[in-house]
Structure 1
Amino acid sequence: MTIRLQRRPVGWRRWLVASAAGCAVLGGVLALLPGSPGELWARGPAAPAPGPAALAHDAVAAGVPAALPDLAVLIGDREARVRARPLDARSWAVLGAAYVEQGRRTADPARFPQAERALRTALRLAESPAALEGLAALAVARRDFAGAARWGERARRLAPGRWTTQAVLVDAYTGLGDHEAVGRALERLVELRPGTAAVRARKAAVYRDRGWREDAVAQITDAVATATAPAERAAYLEQAGRLAFERGEREEALRYFQEALRTDPDQRAAQAGQGRALAALGRTSEALTAYQAALERQPRPEDALELGELYESLGLGGAARVPYGLLRERVRVAAAGGADEELVLGRFEAEHGDAAAAVRRLRAEWRRQPATAVADALGWALYRAGRAREALGYAVRATDGERGGGVRSAAYVYHRGMIERELGRYGAARRHLQEALRINPWFSPLDAPRAREALAELGEPSVEGPPPR
């Protein structure tokens, strides 16, 4: 089933002006003011601006990124409140959701058990959609997408008109690789809350997975323009940067990542993105610094893997052992917090460790949640373990739009091309390796050069017909 949404016309590009969102908001505020200055004066002084706790509460309630300092204030406020009023189910639910967001933003899975205790306490006190939705969001953060779908559907049944539940269900079904369910959840989300920045960002992610690249760009551009809070806007700028990098647009990606970090200095995913873009531009010293700074504050395993591979591409295998060790440590920490990082660990083991162990891990992950990313990783692990024939089926699934692999990923197409080359399917291998480099010539500091080498070895296609039988 495809998403029955109106797609945006392709072939156009919007360039953002930084003040556009502010002007739009200002215009909306001015339109609501009374007709004369005297009337405004008569109404008395304006209400005070919301404090950090209120700002974080609004962000958490809307399911959008919250500023880390505001989150800390909100958590302190709600911790004090539940100590004073332990039967306050609503405060327990807010506290749990805030823990989830803090753990997600800092890559600190130690927050997740705290979040689960708070949310389950809220649920015991009163079955509310907020507590159920919080448990669904926690499951997404832990990469337990089946659990996220169960909690999310339970929240949806309790409050069918709650739009934030549909947003969590989009994430859950994406992780499960259930594209029809993603489409249904996105349709309901758009019906309930059309036009908001958060919904546009979700649409951009789904469109990206469908391979609708121009539509994804249009949606994330609109999300950036309409987001008002700095942390939310920075998150969407980082998402725009990832989309630009996937298209091979290094300079544009770098600009997005830099603007995201200026908007919210705690947006460490954007700092890792800077490292990715700088490496592609050949500015390796700056790239290494950016990755290291990102990992100091937000030690995500996937960023540690990228930094290690950048070191290897520079012939610094010894230095690569440090981020690889960090990756293993963070996977262990994640497991202690109930989070599943088997996908990134499997990818690491396939390329840099024990390929047979990677196959076992990723096969189990595939049984739990058969998403496109898992299909690609399992196919590559099988190839690295010497089982190219079995690997091809997963590689095709990851790259075939008819089977859910609509995303235009240079890495996925490269993997398919190399597997086909191993099987002697040289024509298909040549096409896919060329396609990978067209999508993004700098997709990996290790694998992009390997794609070029493999193409050179394959040579040009023969102009002669098939040999006589």
Structure 2
Amino acid sequence: METGTGNGANDPRGAGRGSGRRRARLVTGVLLGLLVACVGAGGLLWLTRPQPLPAPPPEPGPAQLATAAVTSGVPAALPHLAALIAERERHLRTRPEDARAWALLGLAYVEQGRRTADAAHYPTAERALRTSMRLLPHGNAGALEGMAALANARRDFRAARTWGEAALKVDRKRWTTHSLLIEAYTGLNDYKAAQSTLERLQKLHSGTAVMARSAAVYWDRGWREDAAATLSDAAASAGAPAERAAWLERAGQLAWERGDREVALQHLEEAVRLDPDLRAAQAGQARALAALGRTTEALNAYRVALAEQPSPGYALELGELYESLGLDQAAQVQYDMLRAQVRNAAAGGVDEELVLGRLEADHGDPDEAVLRLRAEWRKQPGIAVADALGWALHRAQEHEEALRFAERATDKEHGGGVRSALYAYHRGMIEKTLGLHGPARRHLREALLINPYFSPLWAPSAREALDELGEPPQVEPPAA
């Protein structure tokens, strides 16, 4: 008897259907495997295909370049400074409570005033910095540092020291403040503090601004080769053209102080090429050109520098060049201009008593020079002031006291390690007047050895004085 199980186990049709399903599953598996393989291969190809390079970051604009410069202690180009000032002022019109923006604006105005010798920028800088401190009275190292920079620019080194030390109390590792303090300590004749601060600065940072500050300290200590080599490294490592131009200008000044006229002119011409607004380099060119006998070019270079940057120091140099050429009336025009420039600077809080005292000592009223420079010495007794006061006393017939100040300016024990032809000349002339012929010969020769061209007016005077002194007398050896 047959029984119907319904499972089709012995049914050929059922067996066919089972085989068909297995084949279908097999084909489906193969197809799925191929699909997975294709997807995997495609993914691998997608992952390994050349990827498009990311777009380069946009080039920094003028305001950004100036910000990077002024906050890292390096010179900024004048057009970039103008852009930064305009940008910060726009920002502050909508966000007047931004203390850090006020501090940056103040610092930019300080740099603009320094670059242009326009003291009118300094009161604006001070208002911005004090606004920043009012908005952020505690922990505002940026504004405190800005006030130190402003005081240095005004030649108020006591105030610069006070502000700088206050900034360091907020942030001991703020290396840019150390650099400003070195300048202040040097102006106050505190060379030990300047040296120790430099050592801390060199541990904190190693950029070109530190190299340039180190070179200045080396020069003050009489290490001329170290100073020149350090500035050369700074110029080679500089980034922006304005920064490199600034270090080349200083290198040119050091070469000039050594009497290397051609090297000085080479550095200064390159500085002007890189930054045509760098008037200090143009005035330096004028010095070197005058020393090379290229007088017409020198006069033109001085005029261009003074037209854009009315610095009393440049006016004094140009006046003395005119005087050396016998053009006394033209010289007097420059001396009168210098006095007007000093008055303008004083209105902006800038102390130009040093250069005014030098003018009065040599081309005006020596007694007036003594009064001004005594006051300056009490306020900030730096080496430059010691030299100028000593010379003014000499011109006012106070030769004994004059020699004491001249010794301070040239004696390493008192910090006077800088090798200055002008300082040595002043000391030698004072000694000659006092009948100290041996020391006078030594110092007058030293002046001409350091830089035979140190002044178109006073270098010939040094040679004449040496001729008058003659050779030292021959002393017979004692009898045996």
TM-score (norm 2): 0.88
1:42 deviation in Å?
3.6
- Equivalence for 1:143: 155
- Equivalence for 1:441: 452
Q: Matches of 1:453 and 1:135 in 2, distance apart?
A: 47
SS of aligned partner of 2:389: helix
- Equivalence for 1:116: 126
- Equivalence for 2:33: none
Which of 153, 177, 189 is the aligned partner of 2:201?
189
Show structure 2 runs of 5+ residues with no match.
1-47
Q: Matches of 1:289 and 1:56 in 2, distance apart?
A: 30
1:466 deviation in Å?
10
Letter paired with 2:99: A
Deviations 1:305-356 (A, max 9, x none): 0000000000000011221122111100110001100000001100000000
Which of 208, 214, 227 is the aligned partner of 1:216?
227
- Equivalence for 1:26: none
Alignment of 1:284-299 (within 5 A): 284-299=295-310
Show structure 1 runs of 5+ residues with no match.
1-37
SS of aligned partner of 1:185: helix
- Equivalence for 2:329: 318
- Equivalence for 1:61: 71
- Equivalence for 2:5: none
Letter paired with 1:209: D
- Of structures 1 and 2, the one scoring higher in RCO (CA 8 A, sep 6+) is 1
- Equivalence for 1:174: 186
- Equivalence for 1:388: 399
Which of 302, 308, 311 is the aligned partner of 1:300?
311
Question: Quick one: structure 1 residues 40 and 53, their matched pair in 2 at CA, closer, same or farther if it must change by over 3 Å?
Answer: farther
Alignment of 1:18-167 (within 5 A): 42-126=52-136, 127=138, 128-167=140-179
Tell me whether 1:348 sits opposite 2:341 in the alignment: no
Deviations 1:91-135 (A, max 9, x none): 100100000000000000000000000000001111311000000
Question: Quick one: structure 1 residues 41 and 246, their matched pair in 2 at CA, closer, same or farther if it must change by over 3 Å?
Answer: farther
- Equivalence for 2:342: 331
SS of aligned partner of 1:170: helix
- Equivalence for 1:430: 441
1:39 deviation in Å?
11
Q: Matches of 1:465 and 1:73 in 2, distance apart?
A: 74
Alignment of 1:5-24 (within 5 A): none
Alignment of 1:386-425 (within 5 A): 386-425=397-436
Deviations 1:37-63 (A, max 9, x none): x99964411001000000001111112
- Equivalence for 2:40: none
Q: Matches of 1:430 and 1:41 in 2, distance apart?
A: 78
1:465 deviation in Å?
4.8
Deviations 1:170-211 (A, max 9, x none): 1111111100110111111101002x1110000100000000
Letter paired with 1:218: A
1:79 deviation in Å?
0.9
Q: Matches of 1:432 and 1:44 in 2, distance apart?
A: 66
Letter paired with 1:153: E
Aligned residues: 430
Letter paired with 2:199: E
Q: Matches of 2:340 and 2:51 in 1, distance apart?
A: 60
Question: Quick one: structure 1 residues 463 and 173, their matched pair in 2 at CA, closer, same or farther if it must change by over 3 Å?
Answer: same
Letter paired with 2:224: R
Deviations 1:347-401 (A, max 9, x none): 1100000000000100000001110000000000000000111000000010011
Deviations 1:67-110 (A, max 9, x none): 00010011001111112111110110010000000000000000
Greater shift in the superposed pair: 319-328 or 97-106: 319-328
SS of aligned partner of 2:56: coil
Name the larger-Rg structure: 2
Q: Matches of 2:163 and 2:317 in 1, distance apart?
A: 33
TM-score (norm 1): 0.90
Deviations 1:188-246 (A, max 9, x none): 1101002x111000010000000001100111000000111111111100000000000
1:417 deviation in Å?
0.2
Question: Quick one: structure 1 residues 460 and 231, their matched pair in 2 at CA, closer, same or farther if it must change by over 3 Å?
Answer: same
Letter paired with 2:112: Q
1:464 deviation in Å?
2.4
Tell me whether 1:198 sits opposite 2:209 in the alignment: yes
Deviations 1:135-162 (A, max 9, x none): 0000000000000000000000100011
- Please give the root-mean-square deviation of Cα atoms over the aligned residues, in Å: 1.5
Deviations 1:401-420 (A, max 9, x none): 11110000000000000000
Tell me whether 1:230 sits opposite 2:241 in the alignment: yes
SS of aligned partner of 1:165: helix
